[in-house]
Protein backbone atom coordinates (compact mmCIF):
# COMPACT_ATOMS: atom_id res chain seq x y z
CA UNK A 1 0.00 0.00 0.00
CA UNK A 2 2.81 2.40 0.91
CA UNK A 3 4.62 1.68 -2.38
CA UNK A 4 1.45 2.42 -4.38
CA UNK A 5 0.98 5.70 -2.51
CA UNK A 6 4.57 6.76 -3.18
CA UNK A 7 4.28 5.92 -6.89
CA UNK A 8 1.04 7.88 -7.12
CA UNK A 9 2.69 10.89 -5.47
CA UNK A 10 5.66 10.78 -7.84
CA UNK A 11 3.35 10.52 -10.86
CA UNK A 12 1.41 13.59 -9.72
CA UNK A 13 4.56 15.54 -8.91
CA UNK A 14 6.23 14.89 -12.24
CA UNK A 15 3.14 15.99 -14.16
CA UNK A 16 2.79 19.29 -12.30
CA UNK A 17 4.33 22.42 -13.80
CA UNK A 18 3.81 24.22 -10.50
CA UNK A 19 5.88 21.57 -8.73
CA UNK A 20 8.68 21.88 -11.28
CA UNK A 21 8.86 25.65 -10.80
CA UNK A 22 8.26 25.73 -7.05
CA UNK A 23 10.67 27.55 -4.80
CA UNK A 24 13.39 26.21 -2.54
CA UNK A 25 13.74 27.74 0.91
CA UNK A 26 16.84 29.53 -0.37
CA UNK A 27 14.86 31.57 -2.88
CA UNK A 28 16.03 29.83 -6.04
CA UNK A 29 13.73 28.63 -8.80
CA UNK A 30 13.74 24.83 -8.60
CA UNK A 31 13.46 24.77 -12.41
CA UNK A 32 16.84 26.48 -12.66
CA UNK A 33 18.55 25.70 -9.38
CA UNK A 34 21.59 23.52 -8.86
CA UNK A 35 22.13 21.60 -5.66
CA UNK A 36 25.56 21.08 -4.17
CA UNK A 37 28.03 22.19 -1.48
CA UNK A 38 28.90 25.44 -3.28
CA UNK A 39 25.28 26.54 -3.10
CA UNK A 40 24.87 25.38 0.48
CA UNK A 41 27.75 27.59 1.61
CA UNK A 42 25.70 30.74 1.09
CA UNK A 43 22.14 29.65 1.71
CA UNK A 44 21.89 26.03 2.93
CA UNK A 45 18.59 25.23 1.17
CA UNK A 46 16.34 22.35 1.99
CA UNK A 47 14.67 20.53 -0.87
CA UNK A 48 11.16 19.33 -0.05
CA UNK A 49 10.73 17.89 -3.56
CA UNK A 50 14.07 16.22 -4.17
CA UNK A 51 15.31 15.15 -7.57
CA UNK A 52 14.89 11.53 -8.61
CA UNK A 53 17.47 9.18 -7.03
CA UNK A 54 20.69 8.98 -9.01
CA UNK A 55 21.05 5.25 -9.63
CA UNK A 56 22.51 5.39 -13.14
CA UNK A 57 25.82 7.25 -12.68
CA UNK A 58 29.30 5.99 -11.92
CA UNK A 59 32.92 7.11 -12.11
CA UNK A 60 35.99 4.87 -12.53
CA UNK A 61 38.41 7.35 -14.09
CA UNK A 62 40.67 8.26 -11.20
CA UNK A 63 44.23 7.26 -12.00
CA UNK A 64 43.36 6.44 -15.62
CA UNK A 65 45.23 8.09 -18.49
CA UNK A 66 44.34 8.91 -22.07
CA UNK A 67 42.92 11.83 -24.01
CA UNK A 68 39.55 12.93 -22.53
CA UNK A 69 36.35 12.87 -24.59
CA UNK A 70 32.76 13.61 -23.56
CA UNK A 71 29.75 12.21 -25.41
CA UNK A 72 26.21 13.42 -24.65
CA UNK A 73 23.29 11.28 -25.77
CA UNK A 74 20.08 13.33 -25.67
CA UNK A 75 17.76 10.40 -26.32
CA UNK A 76 19.25 8.36 -23.48
CA UNK A 77 19.67 11.46 -21.26
CA UNK A 78 23.18 10.33 -20.36
CA UNK A 79 26.70 11.73 -20.64
CA UNK A 80 29.73 9.50 -21.19
CA UNK A 81 33.34 10.32 -20.27
CA UNK A 82 36.19 8.55 -22.04
CA UNK A 83 39.93 8.52 -21.40
CA UNK A 84 41.52 7.27 -24.57
CA UNK A 85 39.24 4.51 -25.81
CA UNK A 86 38.13 3.52 -22.30
CA UNK A 87 34.73 4.53 -20.92
CA UNK A 88 35.43 5.69 -17.37
CA UNK A 89 32.26 7.55 -16.39
CA UNK A 90 28.52 7.67 -17.09
CA UNK A 91 26.14 10.29 -15.74
CA UNK A 92 22.42 10.93 -15.81
CA UNK A 93 21.63 14.32 -17.34
CA UNK A 94 18.75 16.67 -18.06
CA UNK A 95 19.30 18.43 -21.39
CA UNK A 96 17.30 21.21 -23.07
CA UNK A 97 13.52 21.09 -23.12
CA UNK A 98 11.36 21.38 -26.24
CA UNK A 99 11.70 25.16 -26.44
CA UNK A 100 15.39 25.29 -25.56
CA UNK A 101 17.01 22.34 -27.31
CA UNK A 102 20.60 21.22 -26.78
CA UNK A 103 21.81 21.07 -30.37
CA UNK A 104 23.74 18.16 -31.85
CA UNK A 105 27.29 18.61 -33.05
CA UNK A 106 30.98 18.34 -32.21
CA UNK A 107 32.33 21.00 -29.84
CA UNK A 108 35.16 21.64 -27.38
CA UNK A 109 35.29 22.84 -23.79
CA UNK A 110 36.03 26.55 -24.08
CA UNK A 111 35.57 27.71 -20.47
CA UNK A 112 35.69 26.22 -16.98
CA UNK A 113 34.08 28.02 -14.05
CA UNK A 114 33.67 26.27 -10.70
CA UNK A 115 31.21 28.80 -9.18
CA UNK A 116 29.49 29.99 -12.36
CA UNK A 117 26.13 31.78 -12.40
CA UNK A 118 23.94 32.42 -15.41
CA UNK A 119 23.80 35.92 -16.88
CA UNK A 120 20.60 34.99 -18.76
CA UNK A 121 18.40 33.05 -16.33
CA UNK A 122 17.77 33.58 -12.63
CA UNK A 123 15.57 35.45 -10.18
CA UNK A 124 14.71 39.02 -9.16
CA UNK A 125 14.94 39.74 -5.45
CA UNK A 126 13.67 42.71 -3.49
CA UNK A 127 16.39 44.96 -2.10
CA UNK A 128 16.46 45.05 1.67
CA UNK A 129 14.41 41.90 2.19
CA UNK A 130 15.93 39.52 -0.42
CA UNK A 131 12.38 38.31 -1.08
CA UNK A 132 12.05 36.65 -4.49
CA UNK A 133 9.60 38.57 -6.66
CA UNK A 134 10.19 36.69 -9.94
CA UNK A 135 11.62 33.17 -9.94
CA UNK A 136 11.85 32.60 -13.71
CA UNK A 137 13.74 35.57 -15.16
CA UNK A 138 15.13 35.74 -18.69
CA UNK A 139 17.33 38.87 -18.79
CA UNK A 140 16.85 39.17 -22.54
CA UNK A 141 13.15 39.84 -21.98
CA UNK A 142 12.77 40.88 -18.34
CA UNK A 143 14.00 44.23 -16.98
CA UNK A 144 14.98 44.61 -13.34
CA UNK A 145 12.07 46.41 -11.64
CA UNK A 146 12.64 49.36 -9.29
CA UNK A 147 13.80 48.27 -5.85
CA UNK A 148 14.99 44.86 -7.06
CA UNK A 149 18.19 43.13 -8.15
CA UNK A 150 19.10 40.13 -10.30
CA UNK A 151 20.65 36.87 -9.07
CA UNK A 152 21.84 34.45 -11.74
CA UNK A 153 20.88 30.79 -11.54
CA UNK A 154 23.68 28.71 -10.01
CA UNK A 155 25.59 26.57 -12.51
CA UNK A 156 28.40 25.12 -10.42
CA UNK A 157 31.17 23.12 -12.15
CA UNK A 158 30.35 24.80 -15.46
CA UNK A 159 31.97 23.44 -18.64
CA UNK A 160 31.08 25.71 -21.56
CA UNK A 161 31.13 23.99 -24.96
CA UNK A 162 28.62 25.67 -27.33
CA UNK A 163 28.15 29.42 -27.05
CA UNK A 164 26.23 29.97 -23.83
CA UNK A 165 25.59 26.22 -23.39
CA UNK A 166 27.53 24.09 -20.95
CA UNK A 167 27.43 21.18 -18.53
CA UNK A 168 26.93 21.90 -14.83
CA UNK A 169 25.50 20.75 -11.52
CA UNK A 170 21.72 20.94 -11.67
CA UNK A 171 18.32 19.61 -10.81
CA UNK A 172 17.35 16.39 -12.62
CA UNK A 173 13.59 15.78 -12.64
CA UNK A 174 13.85 12.74 -14.92
CA UNK A 175 13.16 14.44 -18.26
CA UNK A 176 14.51 17.24 -20.52
CA UNK A 177 14.00 20.38 -18.46
CA UNK A 178 16.87 22.84 -18.93
CA UNK A 179 17.19 26.00 -21.01
CA UNK A 180 19.71 24.22 -23.24
CA UNK A 181 22.48 23.38 -20.79
CA UNK A 182 23.25 19.84 -19.68
CA UNK A 183 22.46 19.37 -16.00
CA UNK A 184 24.22 16.65 -14.01
CA UNK A 185 24.23 15.33 -10.43
CA UNK A 186 26.70 17.37 -8.37
CA UNK A 187 29.09 14.45 -7.76
CA UNK A 188 29.32 13.72 -11.49
CA UNK A 189 29.55 17.36 -12.53
CA UNK A 190 32.59 17.65 -10.26
CA UNK A 191 34.24 14.58 -11.80
CA UNK A 192 33.64 15.78 -15.35
CA UNK A 193 34.87 19.27 -14.42
CA UNK A 194 38.05 17.99 -12.75
CA UNK A 195 38.92 15.65 -15.61
CA UNK A 196 38.04 17.77 -18.67
CA UNK A 197 40.71 20.38 -19.47
CA UNK A 198 40.09 23.23 -21.91
CA UNK A 199 39.88 21.85 -25.44
CA UNK A 200 38.27 18.54 -24.42
CA UNK A 201 36.06 17.35 -27.34
CA UNK A 202 32.32 17.25 -26.60
CA UNK A 203 30.08 15.29 -28.98
CA UNK A 204 26.33 15.83 -28.67
CA UNK A 205 24.20 13.16 -30.35
Residue 182 lies in a domain: yes
pTM of the model: 0.69
pLDDT in tens, 89-99: 999 998 875 55
Per-residue pLDDT band at 5 (split at 50, 70, 90) = very low
pLDDT in tens, 8-54: 333 333 322 222 233 333 444 443 444 333 333 333 233 334 444 56
Inform me whether the pLDDT recorded for 100 exceeds 70: no
Q: Per-residue pLDDT averaged across 159-166, rounded? A: 91
What is the domain range of residue 85? Answer: 52-116+155-204
User: Which CATH number does the domain housing residue 97 bear?
Assistant: 2.40.440.10
Which positions are annotated as active-site residues?
Answer: 168, 181
Residue 198 lies in a domain: yes
Q: Using H for helix, E for strand and C for coil, what is the string for the chain?
A: CHHHHHHHHHHHHHCCHHHHCCECCCCCECCCCCCCHHHHHHHCCCCCCCCCCCCCCEECCCCCCCCEEEEEECCCCEEEEEECCEEEEEEECECECCCCCCCCEEEECCEEECCCEEEEEEEEEECCCCCEEEEEEECCCCCCCCCEEEEEEECCCEEEEECCEEEEECCCCCCCCECCCEEECHHHHHHHHHHCCCCCEEEEC
Residue 61 lies in a domain: yes
Residue 174 lies in a domain: yes
Number of independent structural domains in the chain: 1
Residue 57 lies in a domain: yes
Amino acid sequence: MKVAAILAFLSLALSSCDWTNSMTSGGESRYLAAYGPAQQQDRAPTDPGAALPDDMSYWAGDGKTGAPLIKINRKQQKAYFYKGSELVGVSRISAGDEGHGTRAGTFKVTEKSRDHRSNLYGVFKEKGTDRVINDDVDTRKDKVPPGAYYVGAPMWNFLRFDGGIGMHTGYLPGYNASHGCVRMPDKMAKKFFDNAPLGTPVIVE
